[in-house]
Chain A
Amino acid sequence: MIVKLDALDEGIVRQLVADPRATNAALARLVGLSESAVAVRVNRMVAEKALRLTVERDALSEGLELHVLALVEVDPEFIDDVALKISALSEIDVVFGTERAGALTLLFFAADMDHLNSVVSLIESVSDKIQFVGVHIAGEVYKYSTSYGLLS
């Protein structure tokens, strides 16, 4: 989807990236619009999936110490079906498809190795079209840019 945002939208987005909880009144002052006009624009961008305003919980604080990258090989013919089934698992945070036929990239968190293995078993159990689940544990994270995502 091509998202078209004008200069005022961009101004609002810049402010929101810096302070996601800035009030509409504060945003209005900063970009020179009325409070209601700001609210309309923010709601429109959210509805168009140009912007997502949310809260994130820290995985470590919840005892989830392993950040896991899983590569799943699937019978290419059934990739969409399998991807949707994996996406339905609450344990899995991110599911991406790539142009390599039959390949899915997953991200999830696990408390420890036992938990990790149980999540892998869970993934494997969603479909007999899954051929292989390869798991890689993220160690040091050098860069994690979350100010932009693939929302649409």
Chain B
Amino acid sequence: MIQDATNRSILAYLRANGRASNSEIARSIGLSEAAVRQRIKRLLAARVIRFRAVVDASFLGVNVTYFIRATVRSRAYGQFAMVMRDLPPVAFLSRTSGSFNAFLALVAPDEDFAKLFLESWFENNPNVLRYEADRFRKVYKYDPDRSMINGVIDDFQSFELPGEPFSRWLSTEFRQVDNPLPNPTRENEECGSD
């Protein structure tokens, strides 16, 4: 469906400006406005495309980003993933195959928060066998026109204003939690041991 040359022209136009009107697109590629509208509607319905408004992270109070490569105990992976998924500062989490099994992006207002977060959730987590965290320095290319529209288990849609998510995670839930994971390994090991 997307291979169609007309659709490609429409998408190329929309890629540069996702808010271009149907009539503007129609004029530029020599199609009727109704035809453009119909084609976009079909692509959306088939979940072959989606429109996105992407906000710069700094607008949300994010000044520090870390990429974390972690090796998580296999038996505790499901629980680890569920806990991480619900933490607002975790922007991305994927299971990977290779020399580590979890790749995460952590977003934070500052270095102090990031360190505290890493210490509590990774350094002191019995389910994390080892991890490496690299602070993001520079974007050379950020051009994800292809995405995982249909492959994502939980597409995180929430959008919060600066200050809100982080102050909350630092001052209440985050700091008061001494043992963030409620002994998942111990339970699992007991169940799994012969």
Q: Which residues of A contact B (CB under 8 A)?
A: 1-3, 5, 10, 13-14, 16-18, 20-21, 42, 49-62, 64, 67, 69, 71, 83-84, 86-87, 92-100, 103-105, 107, 109, 134-152
Contact = CB atoms under 8 A, between A and B. Distances in A.
Counting chain B residues whose Cβ lies within 8 A of the other chain, the interface size class is 35 or more
B20 to A, nearest CB: 9
A57 B56 contact: no
10 contacts: A57-B11, A60-B149, A61-B46, A92-B141, A138-B95, A140-B94, A142-B82, A147-B52, A148-B56, A149-B142
Interface of B: 1-2, 11, 14-19, 46-60, 62, 65, 67, 69, 81-82, 84-85, 90-100, 103, 107, 134-159, 161
Nearest to A92: B141
A16 B59 CA distance: 14
Contacts of B81: 140, 142
Contact of A142 (B58, B95, B145): B95
A18 B53 CA distance: 8
B94 A67 contact: yes
Nearest to A59: B146
A3 B149 CA distance: 29
B74 to A, nearest CB: 13
B60 A140 contact: no
A76 B157 CA distance: 37
Contacts of A1: 58
A42 B139 CA distance: 23
Nearest to A48: B56
B30 to A, nearest CB: 20
Contact of B62 (A92, A144, A148): A148
